[in-house]
Each structure stands twice: as structure tokens, then as C-alpha cells.
Structure 1
Amino acid sequence: MSKNKPTRKEIFAFAVGDGGCNLVWTTIGSFLTLYYTDSVGIAAATIGTIMLLSRLLDGLSDLVMGGIIDRTHTRWGKARPWILWSAVPMGLGLVLMFSIPDSLSNNGKIAYASISYILMSAVIYTACNLSYNTLLSVSAPDPKDRVTMSSMRFFFTMCTVLFINYSCIHFVEKFGWTGMSVIFGGLAIILLLITFFGTKERVHIEQNIVPNENKQNATSSFKLLFTNKYFILLAIIFVINYTILGVNNGLRIYYAKDVLGNITLMGTLTLCFILPKLIGNLVYPYINNRLGKWKSMMLGYVLELTGLLIMALSDTSFASAVIGLVLLGIGGIPHTAGLFAMVADVIDYGEWKTGVRLDGLTNSVTSFGMKVGAGIGSALVGWGLAWVAYDGTLATQTSETIEGIKWVFTFVPAGLIVVGLVVLYFCNLDKIYSQIAEGLAKKRKLI
């Protein structure tokens, strides 16, 4: 195997790292609102505002962290050391978020929630997840290898999400919210350390590419970044996709509990959404070879929109929910592996156009989009629950509230997908990538 190609062990070590990230972030996205509303007693509208404000701040921290990664040079590389340094804080941060003291006043609980949420999302998770996403572009120079690594990554991600959604409530019932977070946080630390010790950076080290981004000051780097039109378009797509996912993750448990009337269906609904992605990520490299990233992502949006409209316009039933979520899952396949692999293409495009390679800053689009999108999604969940007059103290919600939850769960993501289709239409890098690859190959021979 070429020294420029990651081994199977490296691909595995890379892939499990996102399991570590999701043991933290999926748990937060899927269960933190429920913990705040039903266990801590914080108002849903307040939760939405906290999450949105912290994520907007978080978006700025992503750009700062991207610049820091680009200027990090150690014997481990530029991205791997940050995975090592942030692994333990990730686990501890999760425990802090699910351990609000009962003795605090209501304002004290709000302050605790705000501080712990901002610390986790804007500092710890930013450092960990942005460096993890950057690792893809610096460890795999070949776009086909990036798709393979990204596909395996999301296979493990979906397995982790299923584990979380099936086991979280059971752990909470047995050990409490803090006990659950200790278990998930410990597992996250282990998986992130596997990624650090089992991977290798190549782009700068083995190809002898001059790290010319260091010749740029921070202002010049940001100017170059925002001249890359595909960075801006991809940032919008990331925000849209993770807003949709934030709404889906945040409201799915309410949909099971209140709309379908059975909270134990949460795991099954999640399985319908995740299993197609789980299987699809194993075959996506073949789909990518046939359709390319752009065409498959356009088709994915159409399938997702179809699934949401089926759930929205048909009579409420478990069957319609299954059909809708399965289509949502199938449509989401290229928007996981394909979207993250496209970020590396955007990095190559920037280097081709400007001569400066900005791995960390460009990868900030992933962390920025994920967290701002998830923040907007979480805010929409909180505000949506407030708008439909959700009352966590009631055993059964009113019919108007139940119908409102269904409306927010389906029509809000559907509208976002329509916007996403328009933006993605102008983000077709596949049609020019052969020129990019040829230009970079010539440039690197001269170095």
C-alpha cells in the first residue's frame, strides 16, 4: 500500500472517533432539552434562547480554532494533538451538563445551564470536533480515500446514535442523568484516544507540501477563506442540514411520547431513521463512483423532502412515521459521508485558486455548520414547544399541542430542505474537480 494511503487500521481508528464525539453531542442534542424541561424545570423558551445564543458565539469560536489548527505544528501533526488534548474535557463536560444541582434557584439553574453549555459547545467540542474533521483532509490526500473514510466514519456514527437512543433512557432510569453521562463520557474518551493513537497525518508531512498558510497572517488567511465561494455555499448547507437534524433529534422523543403516545417508540423511530444511513454508508463509495457527491446529494434532498411530506400530510400513525423516517434516512446518506468529503474538495479548490492551503480554517465550516445548525435546531425545538404550549408537568398534552409538535417536526425541516436544494444547485464541485486535481499535481511537482 502506498505510504500516501491510510491503512485499514487507520481507517478504523479514524472512524471510531466520531463515535466518541457523538456519545457527547448526540446525547446533548437528543436528550438535554428533555432533561432541562422535565427534570430541571427550565422553561422551553428559555432553553431555546440559551442554545441559540451560545451557538452563535460558538460559530465565531470555530473560525478562531480553525486558524489555531492551521498554525499548530507538532511531531503529531496539526490536528491530532487537539484530539488528544480535548478527549478528557469532552467526557467531563458531558457529566457537568447533566448534573445541575437541585439546590440551585431557578435563576441559578439557568446560569449553570448557560455557562456549562457555552463552555462545552464553544470551547471543548469546538477544539475536539474541528480537529477531528480536519484530520480527514490531512490524512487522506486521495478524494476516493476520503469518501471511504467518511463512509466508515458515519457507519460507526450511526451505530453510536442507535446505541444512545436505545440505551440512554434505560441508563437514566437505572443510574440517573449524571450516571448516564459518566458512562457515555468515559466511552467517548476511550474512542477519541483510539483515534489519536491510531491515525497519521500525511498531506504536509509525506507530500512535502510547504505549509505556506503560515506565511499568511490571520487577517490574510480569513480574507482568502472568504474569497472561496464554495466555502460560503457549503457553510450554508451545513447550517441547513444540522438545523434539520437538530429539530429531528430534539423533537423525536416528544413525537414518540406525545404524538404517538408511547415514549418507548423513541428507539424504534430512531432505528427507522438511522438504519438506512447505517447500511447506506457502507455502499456510498460505490454510489459516489457512479453519481458523484453533488448528484447524490441533490437526490438525497428530494427523498428527505418526500419523507417529511408523507409524515406531515397523512393521518398520524406509526406506519406513516416509519415510512417518512426511512425515506429521511435514505436521503440523508449522501449528506453525511458525501458532505464531509466535499469539505476536503473545497480545501483543494482554495489551494488551487490561491496557492494557500487552509485545512483548519476551511474545516471550520463543518464545526460551524454543525453547531450553529444544531443550535438553531435546538432553539426551534424550544421555541416550538413554547409556541404549542407544551407543559412538561402534564401527563397528556392537549390535542392542539400534539398537532403543533407534529407540524414543527415535519414542515419546518421541509421548508429548510427547499432552501438547501437551491443552495446546493450552485455548489457543484464535481464538474471542475479534475481541473483542480491536475493543477495541484503540477504545483506540487514544482515544490
Structure 2
Amino acid sequence: MEQKKYLTFGNKMAYGSGDLANNIIFGLITSFLMIYLTDAVGLNAGIIGTLMMFSRFAGGVSDVVAGTIIDRTKHKWGKARPWVFWTIIPVVVCEVLMFSTPSMNTTLQYIYFFIIYTILNDVFFTLNNVAYSTLSVLITANKQERVQLGVVRFVFALVAVSAISGGTMASVNAFGGGVVGWRMTALIFSVIAAVFYYICALSIKELPPSELGIHEDVAPEKTGVFQNLGKLLRNKYYVMQLFINILFNGLMTMVGAVGVYYMKYVIGNAAMLGVFSIVQVVPMFLGLIFTPMLVKRWGIYKVNLIGFTLATIACIPFMIFGMKGMTTPMLISHGFVWLFRAPMLGTTSALTAEISGYTYRQTGKRLDGSMFSCMSMGAKVGAGIATAMTGWLLALSKYDGKLDVQPQSSHSMITFMYVALPLIINVIMVAILMLQKVEKANETWDAHQITAK
């Protein structure tokens, strides 16, 4: 039986614009904040990484708090949409401040960085991102439309990543480099992000609870943060997805942060980061286009497992050629890696909705906001660990941002982080994906309920 459709093409594009904004904000931080602080401001990579780690871990807790706040919200716009709207200005202001480090005592610069970074990531961006992710389950009850929303949001994310990767260094240099160049670049990107945030917040509407199959006597959920967390942790599929999100976001953070170092010091051309970004985007875009069709035929589980297994295999030549600095074969294998990774990214929201549905079946409680905080928590904790490791490993390798030529130890460490680590993480993720059978569990539960009646 054909499911009822809730979204127009314009609704889907408006929703996707929110992730374009998210990735402008988050992408500039994950890919360029470290090199801005080490090379433009002159701070120590190890100290920066440690401060980021503490902030990110705190952000992991704030994600659950944000999810609970959203679950309890009662507003004429719904539960999640108001928070997307309310947090836009604070997010973009903090983004500009993040790349506007004042000229003062070094210790005060570390303090300034930590305060702004924590306020941005652990408060405003957390509320915005968790609310945005939760919207995918609140604006449609159609499973295929949720898959389509996941595809659309990641297509828009790819556009943002391409713009950030390819345009940031050019913009910084165009404004004269240094702290001024970075501040102006952050200002421009933040204004663009604000525009797309508003398009998202003002162009979509949440469905009434009855349309989503939620009874008024169980919405909103009245339990506290730790009670909600307990319910989530008793859902084994939530725990699996949390680990997947931590691993993948950690990997992407480290590769994103060290990518500009690899291009600048190993390849010898920082502009190559833009080329690698384009080669990543085009195959991934193709993979995302076919994801809804593949999921409709084989389901989320098979599509994700097969896709990521093939991506892991493609990581092998990327590592081999990357160790030798052979850019052309690296680019080819890089394209295949992202072609096969695309389905997992495109199905993230739909899979999280399935996991949320499993909790609802087991407990009778709707915890959509708390459930979607899994995605944000995974990003925060994974990025925290990866950022700290990036800073520590760079410092351990004797990297010095004030030197034009880095020691061989730094070259070796940067190469390992950029080309070898992805293969290791991918293998672990495939092992977890083999167990992520939440769709089957929900189908079995529903079948039992029908039989019982």
C-alpha cells in the first residue's frame, strides 16, 4: 500500500538548506580552526586539542539535555522548529567570534578560545543541530520521504563542504591572510549560513502529533534527562548507532583537520584540498541519488553494510598511493571511497527514526529529540577525541606552525592520519554495521502485535 506523502519538492529543498548552513558553520571549524589557531594566531596544537576535547565531551552531555528540552517543548510551531529559529543568530555570532582572536597574552587567548568554542558547540549549535535532525521525523510520517530527506540534507552538506574546502584558503588570502583574513572569511560564511538557516526554519512545518501516530497522553514526555538517557542506553541499536557516529565523525574530523596540513606540507600545494573535495563530492552525489531506490529494494541494513564494505576495500589503494604521495591514483580511489560511503550518510536520519521507533515499541514513549541527539552526540564526542588526538599527534611529531618547512617526523604523522587511519576505522565500522538490524527487529515486533490481535 502506498504511504501518504507529506512533503513537496520545495519542502525537501528547504529542509536540506538547514544542513547546508550546519556544514558551513561546522565545516569551517572542523577543517580550519586548528590551522588558524596554530599558523595565524601561533598557539600550540597539543593544548588546543586538549581544550577541544574537554569541550566536546561536555557537548556530549549537552546533546542529551538538548534532546530532552526539545521533547518537552510545546509551541505553536511544534517541538523542534522553534529551536532551529531561535538559535540562528547566536550560532553565527559565535562563529565569527571564534575566528576573531584578540591580540593579547597567550594564556588569555587560550581562555578566549575555550569560552567561545564551548558556548558555540555545547549550547547554541547543539540546540540548533539536534532540533534540525529531529525535524526529519516530525515533518513527515512517510518512511521513504525520511530517506529522501536524508539524501537531500547530505547533498546540501556536500555543497557546503565543497565551498568550505575549496574557497576558504582563497578567501583568507584574498583578504590579506593572517587573523584579519580569517575573520573576514568567517563573517562572509556566517552570513551565508544565516540565510539558509532562515530558509529552513521559515519554510517547513511540523505535523500534528496525531498524524505522527503519537497519542496526546504520551506527548510530550515528562521524564528527566537521566531517565531518558537510561531508556536510550537500553536500546542496543541506539548504542550501536552512537558508536558508529562517534567513529565516523571522529574520522571525518581528523581527516578534515589534517587534510590541509597534508596538502600543504606533504603534497606541497594547499589548493589541492579543493580538488580532493570536488572528487569527493561528485561520486558521493551520484551515490546519494541512487540511495532511495536501493533502500526501497533492499532496505537500509543491506545497503549500508554492502556500501561501507566496498568503501573499506577502496581505502586500501588510497592508503598505498597516499603513502607515496601519488595524487592522481589517490584521487581515483578517494572517489570510490565516497561513492560507497554515500548510502550510509543518506540513510542516517531514516535509520535513527527506525531506532527511535524501536524505543517507542519497547517503552511506549516518544523520545525523538533525545534519540536524534545521538547524531549530534556522536559528532561532538567523536570530534572531541579526534581533535585532541590531532593536536597531540602533531605536537608529538614536533610540528611547529611558525616553520615554513616541517620535520620529517611531522610529514610521517600527517600522512598516517590522513591516509592510513581511515582504513582502520572503516574496518571497525563494518563490524558494527553487521549487527545493526533494527529494521528487522521492528518488523518482527509489528508482526507479533498483529498476530496477538
Equivalent residue for 2:136? 136
C-alpha distance in structure 2 between counterparts of 1:216 and 1:440, whole Å: 26
Q: Which moved more, 1:292-301 or 1:205-214?
A: 205-214
* Deviation for aligned residue 1:207: 4.1
Contact 1:140 1:203 in 2 (8 A): no
Q: Does 1:18 align with 2:25?
A: no
Equivalent residue for 1:333? 342
Equivalent residue for 2:402? 393
Equivalent residue for 1:38? 39
In structure 2, list runs of 5 or more residues that go unmatched. 176-180
C-alpha distance in structure 2 between counterparts of 1:346 and 1:382, whole Å: 34
Code of the residue aligned with 1:76 in structure 2: it is W
1:60-100: per-residue Cα shift (whole Å, max 9, x none)? 00001100000001000000000000111111111010000
1:258-282: per-residue Cα shift (whole Å, max 9, x none)? 1111111110011122221122212
C-alpha distance in structure 2 between counterparts of 1:246 and 1:34, whole Å: 13
C-alpha distance in structure 2 between counterparts of 1:51 and 1:442, whole Å: 52
1:4-43: per-residue Cα shift (whole Å, max 9, x none)? 5112111111011000111100011111011011001111
Q: Does 1:197 align with 2:225?
A: no
**Residue 385 of structure 2 is aligned with which of 363, 371, 376?**
376
Contact 1:19 1:160 in 2 (8 A): yes
C-alpha distance in structure 2 between counterparts of 1:77 and 1:5, whole Å: 16
Equivalent residue for 2:99? 98
Aligned to 1:291, the other structure's residue is in SS state helix
Cα pair distance change 1:319/1:357, threshold 3 Å = same
Equivalent residue for 2:67? 66
* Deviation for aligned residue 1:213: 4.6
* Deviation for aligned residue 1:308: 2.8
C-alpha distance in structure 1 between counterparts of 2:339 and 2:212, whole Å: 37
Contact 2:286 2:339 in 1 (8 A): no
**Residue 363 of structure 2 is aligned with which of 354, 362, 372?**
354
1:342-364: per-residue Cα shift (whole Å, max 9, x none)? 00111111111111111111111
Cα pair distance change 1:322/1:440, threshold 3 Å = farther
Equivalent residue for 2:146? 146
Equivalent residue for 1:214? 220
* Deviation for aligned residue 1:150: 0.9
Contact 1:235 1:366 in 2 (8 A): yes
* Deviation for aligned residue 1:311: 2.8
C-alpha distance in structure 1 between counterparts of 2:348 and 2:166, whole Å: 27
C-alpha distance in structure 1 between counterparts of 2:314 and 2:40, whole Å: 32
* Deviation for aligned residue 1:241: 0.7
Code of the residue aligned with 2:223 in structure 1: it is N
Code of the residue aligned with 2:275 in structure 1: it is T
C-alpha distance in structure 2 between counterparts of 1:303 and 1:396, whole Å: 37
Equivalent residue for 1:109? 109
Code of the residue aligned with 2:350 in structure 1: it is A
Contact 1:150 1:341 in 2 (8 A): yes
C-alpha distance in structure 2 between counterparts of 1:221 and 1:171, whole Å: 44
* Deviation for aligned residue 1:417: 1.8
TM score, norm. by length of structure 1 = 0.94
* Deviation for aligned residue 1:307: 3.2
Q: Which moved more, 1:105-114 or 1:313-322?
A: 313-322
Q: Does 1:324 align with 2:333?
A: yes
Code of the residue aligned with 1:379 in structure 2: it is A
C-alpha distance in structure 2 between counterparts of 1:49 and 1:415, whole Å: 23
C-alpha distance in structure 2 between counterparts of 1:312 and 1:105, whole Å: 41
C-alpha distance in structure 2 between counterparts of 1:426 and 1:2, whole Å: 28
Number of aligned residue pairs: give it: 443
Q: Does 1:180 align with 2:181?
A: no
* Deviation for aligned residue 1:193: 1.0
Equivalent residue for 1:278? 285
* Deviation for aligned residue 1:136: 0.4
Equivalent residue for 2:269? 262
1:125-167: per-residue Cα shift (whole Å, max 9, x none)? 1010000000001112121110011101111110111111111
Equivalent residue for 1:121? 121
Equivalent residue for 2:320? 313
1:99-136: per-residue Cα shift (whole Å, max 9, x none)? 0012x111111111111111111001101000000000
**Residue 241 of structure 1 is aligned with which of 225, 248, 253?**
248
Equivalent residue for 2:168? 168
Aligned to 2:165, the other structure's residue is in SS state helix
C-alpha distance in structure 2 between counterparts of 1:440 and 1:321, whole Å: 51
C-alpha distance in structure 1 between counterparts of 2:221 and 2:275, whole Å: 52
RMSD (Å) for aligned C-alpha atoms: 2.1
C-alpha distance in structure 1 between counterparts of 2:342 and 2:437, whole Å: 18
* Deviation for aligned residue 1:225: 2.1
Q: Does 1:414 align with 2:423?
A: yes
TM score, norm. by length of structure 2 = 0.93
Code of the residue aligned with 2:135 in structure 1: it is L
Contact 1:4 1:202 in 2 (8 A): no
